[in-house]
Amino acid sequence: MIISVGYFGLSLDTPNLHGDAYVNCFLSAVIEVPAYIIAWVLLRNLPRRYSMAAALFLGGCVLLFIQLVPPHLHILSIILVMLGKFGITSSFSMVYVYTAELYPTVVRNMGVGASSMASRLGSILSPYFVYLGAYDRFLPYILMGSLTVLTGILTLFLPESYGTPLPDTIEQMLRVKGLKYRHTSKSTRVSKDEEESPVILKSTAF
């Protein structure tokens, strides 16, 4: 949802940038082409968590730096906005692949649908982030940048799916996360110990 807020928020805020609105909208659309290409390369060669986190950190940190740009350097502000759009667009395209890989096959369709619904909620909220620019020009960038960086940090705590078989059942998904596997192995170990060392009941007869 946060990625969707950043993606649509930057897209809707493009006409408010300094300079010609048509040129800015054209640049905002063109920057998505290399973003999708980079996302494709990262998905094929690098782990999902680090790829998404790097893209989110790039987009979020660049948006936070916009407030430090002097007012007369309008071109630099536009460049930073486009770099932020580049990073968020890359993560926006990668999140669909990563989300589908995290859910097991039995609930993958439902899980991706629920995640997509949450993303649509982010797109609904994004215009209100843009409207905050009426109070402070940098407030939308500060909020979107902070939330994007926070999302990048949280992404590092997700399980890695690159190079591993996709889970088919919920049991396999829990093994990927490292929860059920430890519990099962411990229970199995206890059962084996009980089988190998049976308890000998002492006779109570006098």
Indicate the domain borders of the chain.
Answer: 2-155, 165-194
Cα–Cα separations (whole angstroms), residue 57 to 148, 204, 205: 7, 70, 74
Q: Which of 33-42, 59-68, 78-87, 156-165 has the lowest mean pLDDT?
A: 156-165
Q: Please report how many Cα atoms fall inside a 13 Å half-sphere around the Cα of residue 62, on the Cβ side.
A: 21
Per the CB < 8 A criterion, the answer to whether 66 and 77 are in contact is yes
Tens-digit pLDDT profile for residues 145-194: 888 889 888 888 888 877 777 777 777 777 665 444 444 444 444 444 44
pTM of the model: 0.74
pLDDT > 50? residue 139: yes
More confident residue, 192 or 20: 20
Does the domain formed by 2-155 have CATH 3.40.630.30?
no
